[in-house]
Amino acid sequence: MEKIAIEIRHLQRTEVREAEEPFGGEQRGSSAMPHKRNPVTCEQVSGLARLVRSNMIAGFVNRPPFVLVNREPLTNGPTTATVVDGETYRLPTMLHNRDSIIEGMAALGYEMLGSWQIPERSVIIPCYPDRSALEYSGMFFRLKPMEVA
C-alpha cells in the first residue's frame, strides 16, 4: 500500500502530473501555491504504513539507530480511531496520544531529540471536539547509547 501511495504522490508532482488524487471542494492547496493539489489521502496511507512499521520495532533484535514519526495526528487526549470523510473517499485514521508514544519509545530505549507541528493539517471529530487533533505533529528519536559498566 505504501509503495502505491508513494508512487501516486510522485505521479502527482507538478513537474510529472501523470496521475492525480481527487481534490474535494473543501480541500485547500498550499498557502504559497494555491493551485497545487496536495495528495492528502496518499500522505495518510504512507503515514499509517510508517506507524505500523514503527509498532514492529519492538520485535527487532537490532533496532534502528533513529526513528522518525512524521505527519501524524497526535492529541493530548485518549487514542481514538475515526474516519476522515473526503468528498469521494473515507479513510480510517488513528489519533494517538502524544505522551504514550514518547513513553513507549522511551521503554524501547529511545530518546526524543526534537518535535514539530504541522498546523495546516488537522483531524476534527465533530461529536468529540476534545479528541480532535488540531494539527499534525512529528518527532525524531535516537536509540540511547549502551552504558558501559
C-alpha cell at 119: 498546523
3-state secondary structure of 132: coil
79 within domain boundaries: yes
Helical pair 2-11 and 40-55, crossing angle rounded to 10 deg: 150
Closest CA to 117 of 103, 92, 98: 98
DSSP 127: T
pTM of the model as a whole: 0.54
8 within domain boundaries: yes
Structural domain of residue 47, as residue ranges? 2-143
Residue carrying C-alpha cell 493539489 = 37
148 within domain boundaries: no
80 within domain boundaries: yes
Residue carrying C-alpha cell 510529472 = 16
53 within domain boundaries: yes
Domain count, the chain: 1
112 within domain boundaries: yes
Burial class of residue 148 (count of CB atoms within 10 Å of its CB; 0-12, 13-18, 19+): exposed
Q: How far apart are CA 130 and CA 116, in angstroms?
A: 21
149 within domain boundaries: no
Kindly report the number of other CB atoms within 10 A of residue 31's CB atom.
8
The pLDDT tens digits along the chain (149 residues) read 778 888 888 788 877 888 888 777 666 666 777 777 777 788 888 888 887 877 776 666 677 889 998 888 888 888 888 887 777 777 788 888 888 889 989 988 899 999 999 888 888 888 888 888 888 889 999 999 876 65
